[in-house]
Amino acid sequence: MFDIQNLLRKNIRDLHPYSSARDEFQGAASVYLDANENPYDTGLNRYPDPLQMEVKSKIGRLKNVFPEQIFLGNGSDEAIDLLIRAFCEPGLDNIVAMKPTYGMYKVCADVNGVEYNEVLLGRDFNLLVDDMLDAANAWTKLIFICSPNNPTGNSLAEVDILQLLDRFEGIVVLDEAYIDFAEQKTLLSKLNDYPNLVILQTFSKAWGMAGIRLGMAFGSIEIIKVLNNIKYPYNVNVLTRDKALAKLDSPKKVEEQIKEIIEERFKLVAELEKLAYVTKIYPSDANFVLVQVKDAKAVYNYLLKHEIIVRDRSKVALCEGCLRITIGTEEENKNLIEKLKKY
Ligand SMILES: *Cc1c(COP(=O)(O)O)cnc(C)c1O
């Protein structure tokens, strides 16, 4: 039977978490003399709710999960770091992840002194479940996977993800940062079937709020409780909270922008196909495309000279010769194509 107590680091299992003033009194009162705040109202003089229940109840309704299944942090990056800190004993435990993928998993593992083992994706950037499991051992606490994957852009097959969840005894962290752009559905509905599943999403991409730094982790109530116990007490500030609340009240605009961005992606791909020096365009389920060109460095520098910045991924394993291009506004994409045609 899956029991997260057996996976947690001992110091985390035994932790007595910090209890803030706002943890100890949660009701409404007219006079607050419990937290050493400045009493003069500026709209910002009070500490925020440490568990962000108002934001979580809106997200919960939107995504059909319980608020207690949601962790909110300073970007998804906070959740990545906390998961590693909760489950991986430095110098002893390890992580398995696919390659190529998002760079922060490895950076967080390195910062925490946790071994990080990479497993190459297949020919179509598909998940090789057997290879991932072969790379895991008794000390593997976490497997990180990313779908749609950055920088390749493809979604992983749902059957492969579910097979990994079935066969791995530790925690599978599925990063769905780009899920709002994807044809493929989120696996949030599987949370109740798989106690070892943690899903990451973010306000940074489709939601258009990279600047407020707000990331989400979804998991069992038990796992989320652990993340809440080890986070900084007030990790999401009042300004971020208020911007998120306002955005969650008007999701229509976001939906329109997502449609527009996907439409623009199809247009951009169609134009890229006409360029002789473009040797491959990988299928994308995200808001960027991975494009292989004849001389990536030269194309990158040419665009740079024209003040267009794309991401050079040409040195990344399996992405040799590739640039990663984010989908911009219609005007920006037109400008890009115009410049690429003149290259
Ligand atoms: C952009 C991105 C994130 C977002 O990180 P935040 O800290 O929430 O901004 C997470 N995962 C992947 C794969 C990304 O590409």
> pTM of the prediction?
0.97
What is the reported pLDDT for 82?
Answer: 98
What is the reported pLDDT for 295?
Answer: 96
What is the reported pLDDT for 114?
Answer: 98
**pLDDT above 80 (res 1):** no
What is the reported pLDDT for 292?
Answer: 98
Cis peptide before 148 (omega within 30 of 0): yes
Asked whether 153 lines ligand 1 (CB < 6 A), one says no
What is the reported pLDDT for 25?
Answer: 85
Q: What is the pLDDT of residues 273-332, one digit of tens each?
A: 999 999 999 999 999 999 999 999 999 999 999 999 999 999 999 999 999 999 999 999
**Cα within 13 Å of Cα(12), Cβ side:** 23
Query: Confidence class of residue 177 from pLDDT cuts 50, 70 and 90?
Result: very high
Q: What is the pLDDT of residues 275-288, one digit of tens each?
A: 999 999 999 999 99
Please give the average per-residue pLDDT across 75-90, as a whole number.
98
Residue whose token pair is 């229509």: 252
Query: Confidence class of residue 26 from pLDDT cuts 50, 70 and 90?
Result: confident
Q: What is the pLDDT of residues 113-165, one digit of tens each?
A: 999 999 999 999 999 999 999 999 999 999 999 999 999 999 999 999 999 99
Asked whether 102 lines ligand 1 (CB < 6 A), one says yes
Nearest CA to ligand 1 atom 5: 76
Closest CA to 166 of 147, 138, 190, 140: 190
What is the reported pLDDT for 281?
Answer: 98
Q: How far is the CA of 176 from the centre of ligand 1 (A)?
A: 9
Whether 286 and 325 have beta carbons less than 8 Å apart is answered as no
Cα 22–chain centre separation? 28
Sign (positive or negative) of CA dihedral 225, 46, 18, 215: positive
Amino acid at 165: L
DSSP characters for 168-189? Answer: -SSEEEEE-TTGGG-SSPPSGG
What is the reported pLDDT for 337?
Answer: 98
What is the reported pLDDT for 162?
Answer: 98
What is the reported pLDDT for 24?
Answer: 87
Residue whose token pair is 């499991």: 133
Nearest CA to ligand 1 atom 12: 177
Asked whether 176 lines ligand 1 (CB < 6 A), one says no
Record the tokens describing residue 210, joined without a space.
């990279």
Q: Which of 59, 82, 83, 104 to mutate to test the pocket of ligand 1 (most atoms within 8 A of CB)?
A: 104
Q: What residues does 96 pair with on adjacent strands? A: 117, 143
Nearest CA to ligand 1 atom 15: 150
Asked whether 177 lines ligand 1 (CB < 6 A), one says yes
Asked whether 77 lines ligand 1 (CB < 6 A), one says yes
Q: How far is the CA of 277 from the centre of ligand 1 (A)?
A: 30
Closest CA to 84 of 14, 142, 136: 142
The DSSP bridge pattern shows strands 215-218 and 70-73 to be antiparallel
What is the reported pLDDT for 179?
Answer: 98
DSSP characters for 7-39? Answer: HS-HHHHT------HHHH--S--S---SS----
What is the reported pLDDT for 23?
Answer: 86
**pLDDT above 80 (res 194):** yes
What is the reported pLDDT for 293?
Answer: 98
What is the reported pLDDT for 204?
Answer: 98
Asked whether 146 lines ligand 1 (CB < 6 A), one says yes
What is the reported pLDDT for 297?
Answer: 97
Please give the average per-residue pLDDT across 31-55, as a whole number.
96
Question: Which 3 state secondary structure label does DSSP give 328?
Answer: coil
Report the C-alpha gap between 171 and 2 in whole angstroms: 10
Q: How far is the CA of 269 from the centre of ligand 1 (A)?
A: 23
What is the reported pLDDT for 215?
Answer: 98
What beta strand segments (E) does the chain contain? 70-73, 94-99, 115-120, 140-146, 171-175, 197-202, 215-218, 278-281, 288-293, 311-312, 322-326
**pLDDT above 90 (res 2):** no
